[in-house]
Structure 1
Amino acid sequence: MLLEPRSGLLAAWGNALLAGFVSPDDAADAVVGDDAVHRVEGLPGEPGPVGLTLAFGRLRALGVTGYRVALPAPGHPLGLSGPPDFNARALEAEEAVVASGAPYGLVPEVTAVGPDGDRHVEVVWHCLPVREAPPADVPSLGEAERELAEALRDATEVLSRLDVAASGPVADAALDAYRARAERGRDVLAPGYPPRAARVLQLAERIGLLVSLAYEHGPGGAVSASEMSARVAALRPVERVARRAQVASYNAYVEERERDGLR
């Protein structure tokens, strides 16, 4: 599971820019983060790839009024609305951004460049046409928060029952790093998002981390193939809930804006 997907950063800071909370350069810098460079390819009116600052302006001129996130997985087209070509590319990347107000979506292609010991990450966002339709399986923030409370309890029970090695030095170090990041006051979301969205996203990330640790760090007591299969089957619904909550959090700006527009 993507604990902090690039699509979430682009959508959150793109929405903050549209709302007037940040400048184009600041929004672009926040999205790029520790990566070397981000470019956008396939923008209407642009003959080649452009930087994020220019891309944000071009998308706004094309009518984009907000950005949503999609985090699809096999059998779960979370946040997608079609067409099939866009859905397939988003599924391959495990994430995408879908614009509101104009029929465009962005799918990242991530490449590590350079020799070992001096590698850096370059990202090309492919701008593709999307179908203007409600996104698949995205809950409201309230629904996501209730689901997460149950998922956290379920995850704890599953890990205990299967004796999964979500503890020990590696797991403890990962959890400590997560807590340290939170204590440093890291902005979970960009300016302009409701506090509830940040709270839901933090809990979704924590549950996602626990699930990732359970998958990746040692078999614990699950020593047989059937027990390993039971672990995956038990954790998959928890992971699904966490991804739904991530999408609901990142999409809260657009959902709130559209809800206010209907009043």
Structure 2
Amino acid sequence: MLTEPRSGRLTAWGNALIAGLVSPDEAVHRIVADDALHRIEGLPGETDPVGLSLGLGRLRALGATGLLAALPAPGHPLGLCGPPDFNARAMEAEEAVIAPGAQPLGLVPEVHEAGPEGDLHVEVVWRCLPVRDAPPADVPSLGEAERELAEALREATDLLSRMDVAGSGPVADAALDAYRARAERGREVLAPGYPPRAVRVLELAQRVGALIAIASGGDTGSGDGREHGAAVSASQIAARTEALRPVERTARRAQVAAYNAFVEERERR
């Protein structure tokens, strides 16, 4: 979770663009990041896929008032609002972006990769589909997310300590620092116009996500979890993951709340 999901980047920098806080070139550069190309397909009034700059402009012309991120997982339609076809596509991709407004639309990324590992050419097509004009599922306010996340971090640290794995030891801390450094090279958390609280919540949510990844043996070196605790079998690692599942859900909810804080703040005003 330290690496920003594509839906998060599109939401954050798309909101800044719609609000006139960044140029189209800057927004596109930030959204595309390390990918080769992003396009939007299926926009009303467009017969062919269009680039991000034109696509975001079209969304604004169609009445989009902002963008909202969704990070669903099996059994947890976080941020989705229907209909079933859109939800199914978003659930498969594990992310989506909602553009509420006069003509509510949703965007689901389809990722196409080519080339050897380490030299991948990645193109992303955002499939545009109609969505319901309804509140997104299970998204807390930023204040609620921050309170829940503070408790989740305590729970995660306590669980990991009792399991004799990452969370409090110097080896785990070093792995977390290295994990964060790889992910943060050249990135900026959120975009202009976001409240400082949203930045704080997103960074904390990503830290919790990194702890969970380390405890599960994910992307930390050997990938088997051996260097981060006594439990080394597949069943024991699976038990860690299951024990931390509620914490992971809280972190994802907080991440979505942070990305969506731009629209929440504007509506409150």
Shared fold by TM > 0.5?
A: yes
The reply to whether residue 191 of structure 1 matches residue 192 of structure 2 is: yes
Q: State the number of aligned residues.
A: 259
SS of match in other structure, 1:66: coil
The reply to whether residue 18 of structure 1 matches residue 18 of structure 2 is: yes
> What is the aligned counterpart of 1:256 among 237, 259, 265?
265
Letter of the structure 1 residue corresponding to residue 127 of structure 2:
H
SS of match in other structure, 2:161: helix
Q: Is the 8 A contact 2:72 2:80 kept in 1?
A: yes
Q: Is the 8 A contact 2:140 2:254 kept in 1?
A: yes
Q: List runs of 5+ in structure 1 lacking aligned partners.
A: none
Residues 119-163 of structure 1 show CA distances to partners (whole Å, capped at 9, x for unaligned) of 221111100111110011000111111111111111111111112
C-alpha separation in 2, matches of 1:38 and 1:196: 29
TM-score (normalizing by structure 1)? 0.91
Letter of the structure 2 residue corresponding to residue 104 of structure 1:
L
> What is the aligned counterpart of 1:172 among 168, 171, 174?
174
TM-score (normalizing by structure 2)? 0.89
Q: List runs of 5+ in structure 2 lacking aligned partners.
A: 218-222
Once the two structures are TM-superposed, the CA of residue 50 in structure 1 deviates from its matched residue by 0.8
Matches of residues 73-152 of structure 1 in structure 2 within 5 Å? 73-101=73-101, 102-152=103-153
C-alpha separation in 1, matches of 2:180 and 2:13: 21
C-alpha separation in 1, matches of 2:77 and 2:247: 16
C-alpha separation in 1, matches of 2:19 and 2:124: 25
Q: Is the 8 A contact 1:162 1:227 kept in 2?
A: no
Q: After the TM superposition, which of the residue ranges 57-66 and 115-124 deviates more from structure 2?
A: 115-124
Q: Residue 60 of structure 2 aligns with which residue?
A: 60
The 1:119/1:187 distance shift into structure 2, 3 A limit, reads closer
Q: Residue 216 of structure 2 aligns with which residue?
A: 215
SS of match in other structure, 2:140: coil
The reply to whether residue 241 of structure 1 matches residue 250 of structure 2 is: yes
Letter of the structure 2 residue corresponding to residue 255 of structure 1:
E
User: Percent identical across equivalent pairs?
Assistant: 70
The CA RMSD measured in Å over matched residues stands at 2.2
Letter of the structure 2 residue corresponding to residue 175 of structure 1:
D
